[in-house]
Structure 1
Amino acid sequence: MKKKIGLWDLVFMNVSALFGIRWIAKSTATSFGLGLGAIPAWVVFTFIFFVPAALICAELAATYKSDGGLYEWVKEAYGEKWGFMVSWLNWTAKIFWYSSFLAFFTINMSYTIGKPELASNKMFVLIVSLVLFWVLSFISTRGMGFAKVFTSVGALGSTVPAVLLIVMGFVSVFVFKNEPASTYTVSTLMPKLNMDSLCAISGVMFGLAGAETTANFVTEMDNAEKNFPKAILIAAALVSGLYVVGSVAVTMILPTDQITASEGILVALSTVASTLGIGPWFIKIVAFGISVSVLGAIILYIASPIKMLFGSVRKGIFPQKLTKVNDANIPVNAVIFQAVLVSITLLATNLLPSVDTIYNVLVTMTALTALFPYVILFASYIKLRKTRLNEVRPYQISKNNSKAISIAYMVLTITIAGIVLSAAPVMSTFKENLIYETQMIGGGVLVIVIGLMIWNNFVKRTGFKEGCEEIKKIS
């Protein structure tokens, strides 16, 4: 008999999937961030975005049992076209995710080798990112066994440095009585309503995204109706707590105007280590640990979203050359195509003025595109709740249909607002804003249009109609 997933198993799975130390610096930086306002923002968005999103995904997973996840849920509501689109958007979001993570890896490696000044060198970051991604893409085509070594160790790559940051920051202030770099009052904790802080909201939401990752396990839990929401709430408290206390710790060590999204965590740890008399070896070890976790994540996710996209959607949508797999069941040509797209993204963002700006743009673009699938997901949930009143739902966020739909409308509205706000102009000059907006808005629209064109071309070539299994033979 298959072993059931326990309450704490699911709690730790959610924490592992949701928490990322880089979001602490991203959210608290005055530039492209909320400053001290990030502290209450993490709490608020945990409970108005992550919790309802996770419970909605849990209900869908329990009701429509399939490995297809997002694709299957959306297909149930809107058919295969939008099932394909949500899979397409989920994959394309990874293109920007890879790019931002590559930049983050390169920055950490510069600290590991004792050359932190290289973290600000655009050409160094670009060259290392390009070479690394092509090498990792080649490795991924040989199978995922190699990645497991890194992901097993890398699971601690975010949480351990975060705990060290928190402990060392509080020891510095409360044990050694060093003056904190920030003052915490109701006034200073209120997010400032400017373009930077509004844009940062999408980053906070993306830092809490990923509820669909563990939702499928709702069917493998004992007493899921009670234990799943309990696990979600515990995980929400832990993740929110790490983000909130981590944000307090980093702002006790550095003032928000000295925190950068790309290097903030390492600079804060270096600063507090120096204050406590710990040598430079410490930051090299921490940076290396973060680098290993990033490396494992990149290797693991290079091939898996491609396999998900090409494995879930109807055959014939993509050319056979892209879907053909090797002995390791990896679509090699699709991996190469993905590497080309990531290279173009890295080269395009290199036009921006600094590494920190490049990193910020990539992170924000990731947040923007990653939120698109949630819009389709929540709209699908609302439609299914409205049109399938007699559906058997083993788990429900509420037995009251109107209440469940109202919760979904709330989180749908918040998600749309996050997408709109993420495209706010935040650069200092008109030229920089023009490049930024072209990449943000133009990139998002282009991704959607390309997805629709791929689907429409498939329909034209095959004569496919929703609800009709037979299609014309592709010539």
Structure 2
Amino acid sequence: MTEPSPAAAMPGGKPKSAGWLAHGGQTKTQPKIVIGMLAFAVMNVTTIVSLRGMPAQAEYGMASIFYYLFAAIVFLVPVALVAAELAATFPKQGGVFRWIGEAFGPRWGFAAIYYQWQAVVIWFPTVLIFAAAALAYIWWPPAFDQALADNKVYTITVLLAVYWLVTLVTFRGMAASTRLSWLGGLFGTIIPGAILIALGVAYVAAGKPMHLDLHASVIPDFSDFHNMVLAASVFLYFAGMEMQAVHVQDLKNPTRNYPLSVLIATVMVVVIFVLGTLAVGAVIPREAIDINRGLLVAYNELWAAFGLPWLGNVMAAMLAFGVLGQVSVIVAGPSTGLLAVGKAGYLPHVLQKTNTHGIPVAILILQGLLVTLLCVAFTVLPSVESAYQLLSQMATIIYLVMYVLLYVAAIRLRYTQPDRERPFRIPGGNVGMWLVGLLGLAGALVALGFSFIPPAQISTGSPVLYVGALVVGSAVFLAIPFVIYAFHKPDWKAADSDFEPFETAA
């Protein structure tokens, strides 16, 4: 998931404004705006680009280029096109709840929006683990930083303290969170990302010692399935393109400009990820890369190579600040979308409680309790890194299931509502929809399969325990929305709910 941007975020990772799920990306009082093609491309780039995941892909060296390109072709582009058509076709409230509900009914629509929220909850500890590591690397000397970052008691303490502090601040409303997100996006992602790439280029140009074999094959070794697991997680790095799809009707000439802006954004995202990942791989030996603190080590090594090691500590502080900005918005964003659907009659009244600022306090408290339980579960895993990997994979699995539903729903709606006006349509008629939908579906299913294989690069303890935890945890989380839906009652609908009904009785 990504670092914060001024406009948004999501699960793999991206801070979105509080109402993006509930209102399809725009509030009802917003005036009509017109977005240029390049501006829209930049919006997508800032929503998706993340720095934290680069060390995981750096383990693959030059082969990481293949994984980024593969994920862009079979995931990033299909998601963008499918979400754009659905957002333009169903502009009312609801996001994925409405899109999938129109195809398969409210039960599956509720499951989809719940999966978005649940994936974010599971993902929270992973981004906070990185924040704890970044805070550890502010100090000196590096040996102390490493020992502190690897200490589970320290990590859990920082994680819970930061999460609950941000949650309490969020109770005061979204204004402060949005401001912190904007500053965090600038100083915690955009500037550090530019510095990382610039340092990597300067490092290579200066002829410094290289730990990356530039002549290695870009095609990975497909014979070792264990080496494919971390690569499957790249799909979650690219998640969130569906968020900006709700603005498709605000584009000039969307039929032409939307596909072009997606192409531009895709190229920019891939270039940024590839250059940043190779910069990490250039300064850290493959066997020494740690997916949690590898980025921090890379900054230290790059600045030290130019005689400025203390700037590595400054970069750690900037990255930690970026995480705080990201979390401050994500804490409230997805839960606000779930609240709107819940008030339409799909969550009990106890979970519909809000404060005077309109913040869903009941859902946030439940969210915090779940995060706390996940953090306590770290104690049964052999290392902070293994906990990071397990939670990342579980969030990936749940989020990919939502995307599977999205692709199937898009195809079905072409046949169940063929005459509905579609301001933006995937080119090629139904054949085009089938090609794009099946391409995205195949990519999501492949990534799902690999997500259950223990990674060879990380010590996760017993493979049986690791896979068992993934299977049981994923099964429980995937079943929860169906249990809630089975017990929901008509009188759960709030009197002030303005959620429009579905267009069909599917």
TM-score normalized by the length of structure 1: 0.92
Matched AA of 2:410: Y
Q: 1:170 and 2:201 equivalent?
A: yes
Pick one of 216, 223, 227 that aligns with 1:197.
227
Q: Tell me the distance in 2 between the aligned counterparts of 1:419 and 1:371.
A: 7
Which of these residues, 330, 335, 350, is aligned with residue 306 of structure 1?
A: 335
For 1:171 and 1:262, the matched residues in 2 are separated by 25
Cα offsets for 1:45-88 (capped at 9, x unmatched) = 11221012101111111111123211111111111111111011
Give the aligned residue type for 1:339: G
Structure 1 range deviating more: 186-195 or 259-268: 186-195
**Displacement of 1:378 after TM fit?**
0.6
| Greater shift in the superposed pair: 64-73 or 227-236 | 64-73
Instruction: Evaluate the alpha carbon distance shift between residue 170 and residue 189 of structure 1 in structure 2; reply closer, same or farther with a 3 A threshold.
Output: farther
| Alignment-derived partner of residue 399 in structure 1 | 428
Kindly indicate whether the alpha-carbon contact (under 8 Å) linking 1:225 and 1:395 is maintained by their aligned counterparts in 2. Answer: yes
Deviations 1:424-448 (A, max 9, x none): 1336889522332232111111012
Question: How far apart are residue 128 of structure 1 and its match?
Answer: 1.0
Once residues 490 and 462 of structure 2 are traced to their aligned partners in structure 1, the CA distance between those partners, rounded to angstroms, is 41
1:141-188 Cα distance to aligned partner (Å, 9 max, x none): 1111221232111113223222222221221221x2123212123536
Structure-2 change in CA distance of 1:316 and 1:274 (3 Å): same
Match of 1:66 in 2: 92
Count of residue pairs the alignment pairs up = 462
Change (3 A) 1:153 1:335: same
Q: 1:403 to 1:195 in 2, by over 3 A?
A: same
Contact 1:385 1:405 in 2 (8 A): no
Change over 3 Å in CA distance of 1:248–1:38 after alignment to 2: same
Alignment of 1:408 with 2:451, yes or no, is no
Q: Would you say the 8 A contact 1:37–1:189 is kept in 2?
A: yes
Deviations 1:324-368 (A, max 9, x none): 111011121221111110010111133211112222222222222
Q: Would you say 1:421 and 2:450 are equivalent positions?
A: yes
Paired position in structure 2 for 1:351? 380
User: Which residue, out of 45, 54, 65, partners 1:24?
Assistant: 54
The answer on whether the counterparts of 1:83 and 1:313 sit within 8 Å (CA) in structure 2 is no
Determine which of 240, 244, 261 is the counterpart of 2:274: 244
The structure 1 residue matched to 2:398, chosen from 369, 380, 384, is: 369
- 1:259-338 pair list within 5 angstroms: 259-280=289-310, 282-313=311-342, 315-338=344-367
Aligned to 1:182: 212
What is the aligned partner in structure 2 of residue 380 from structure 1? 409
2:191 paired residue number: 160
Equivalent residue, structure 1, for 2:80: 54
Equivalent residues of 2:62, 2:216 under 8 A apart: no
CA distance in structure 2 between the aligned counterparts of 1:193 and 1:51, rounded to whole angstroms: 27
* Cα displacement (A) at 1:461: 8.8
CA contact (8 A) 2:134 2:320 kept: yes
CA distance in 2, matches of 1:170, 1:429: 32
- Taking only aligned residues, the RMSD between alpha carbons, in angstroms, comes to 2.3
Q: Deviations over 1:175-211 (max 9, x none)?
A: x212321212353652454243221233110001111
Aligned residue for 2:347, secondary structure, equals: coil
Per-residue deviation, 1:102: 0.8
Deviates more, 1:185-194 or 1:271-280: 185-194
Q: 1:467 to 1:289 in 2, by over 3 A?
A: closer
1:440 alignment partner in structure 2: 470
Structure 1 runs of 4+ off > 4 angstroms? 427-431, 459-463, 466-470
Cα distance in 2 for residues equivalent to 1:311 and 1:89: 15
Q: Flag structure 2 segments of 5+ consecutive residues without an equivalent.
A: 1-30, 494-500
Alignment partners' CA distance in 2, 1:60 and 1:431 = 43
Tell me the CA shift for residue 460 of structure 1: 9.6
Partner Cα separation in structure 1 for residue 362 and residue 93 of structure 2: 24
Partner Cα separation in structure 2 for residue 351 and residue 159 of structure 1:
36
8 Å CA contact retained: 2:301, 2:309: no
In structure 2, C-alpha distance between the alignment counterparts of 1:293 and 1:112, rounded to whole Å = 14
The 10-residue stretch of structure 1 (124-133 or 390-399) with the greater mean CA deviation from structure 2: 390-399
Change (3 A) 1:63 1:113: same
Q: Which residue of 1 aligns with 2:41?
A: 11
- Partner of 1:37 in structure 2? 63
1:211 is aligned with what amino acid?
A: M
Where does the alignment leave 5 or more consecutive residues of structure 1 unmatched?
A: 471-475
Q: Deviations over 1:89-138 (max 9, x none)?
A: 11100111111011011111111234513111111001111122112111
Aligned-partner Cα distance in 2 for 1:191–1:209:
25
1:110 aligns with 2:136: yes
